[in-house]
Amino acid sequence: MRQTLAWICAVIATLLAVAIVFWFGVSPLTILIALLLLACPVLVIWMSLRLSRQCERDIRQAIERERKSRGKC
């Protein structure tokens, strides 16, 4: 649920960044605001990928621990 909301937030931030530049034109201030808004989707994608890699690593470690514990008995 949280991940879905984070992706929705990222999409809204991207659309808002594009809309700000479209409505107010290209100026240093609008570009700065758009870049700040675009940082949100980048952070969401980075966090999602990092968490998925961490989950995969945790699963692999748990499997290895279980195999070792069964091998010792």
48 falls in which pLDDT band (50, 70, 90)? confident
pLDDT score of 1? 62
pLDDT at 61: 95
User: What per-residue confidence (pLDDT) applies to 2?
Assistant: 64
Share of the chain above pLDDT 70, in %: 93
Supply the pLDDT for residue 56: 92
Coil, strand or helix: which one is 73?
coil
pLDDT of 57 reads 94
Cα dihedral 8→11→13→19 (10° resolution): -140
Total domains present in the chain:
1
Domain span at residue 35 reads: 2-72
**In angstroms, how far is the first alpha carbon of the chain from the final one?**
40
